[in-house]
Amino acid sequence: MALSTNDLRNGMALDLSDGLFTVVEFQHVKPGKGGAFVRTKLRNMRTKAVIEKTFRADEKVEQAVIDKREMQYLYRDGDQFVFMDNSTYDQIYVEAPSLAGADSYLKEGDSAVLQMYDGEIVDVELPAAVELTVTDTEPGLQGDRVSGARKPATLETGRVLNVPLFVNPGDRIKVDTRSGEYITRA
């Protein structure tokens, strides 16, 4: 669907010649001399790279209609992940690269919003924080309580992150899905 650059809004998806982008920021500029233009910051939905692009005012761009579906992660089948659509109960098989790292936060039964464009998964929305169980980490040494000291820990999904010294195997912890960092014990 063609759209004027004057109608751009934050979060809007655009299908441009160099890829699929979402509008992060936009600004209408009317210089004293010459024609007006729209300065934008765009995030590539596949690579997450941010670019700056300038359009003429009232230039036509193609708006991409992103289909957001809430799905439940069921299980892993070899190198594919099986999700079930919560509304139609259809199951889809998703390759690990399509999840763009979200697989290190998903455990069986968790929900995620898969964003699809022309049948291809372009992004995965996770909750801001998830609770995961620590499967392996070295024991913290008694008396070693240096503030901010960290040690590596392996989570039930296979992700490795740094946690405080008092976290032990079997503990449930909250992890920030945006930064990948430890928040607190659950």
11 & 51 share domain? yes
Q: What is the DSSP letter of 140?
A: P
3-state helix, strand, coil in the chain (%, to 5): 5, 55, 40
**49 and 8 in a common domain:** yes
Q: Average pLDDT of 3-24? A: 87
90 and 45 belong to one structural domain? no
Q: How many domains does the chain have?
A: 3
Pair (6, 48) in one structural domain? yes
Identify the CATH number of the domain in which residue 138 sits: 2.40.50.140
84-105 tens-digit pLDDT: 988 888 888 888 888 877 888 8
Per the structure, the complete domain to which residue 139 belongs is given by 129-185
Nearest to 161 by CA among 179, 183, 185, 181: 181
Quick one: 74 and 44 in the same domain? no
137 and 162 both lie in a single domain: yes
**pTM score of the predicted model:** 0.73
Q: What angle do CA 16, 19, 20 make, to 5 degrees?
A: 80
Q: What are phi and psi of 94, to 5 degrees?
A: -120, 130
- The angle subtended at Cα 26 by Cα 21 and Cα 30, nearest 5°, is 135
Tell me: the pLDDT tens digits for 50-87? 999 999 888 898 888 888 889 998 988 888 889 998 88
Which residue among 81, 103, 125 closes a domain?
A: 125
Q: Which amino acid is at 73?
A: Y
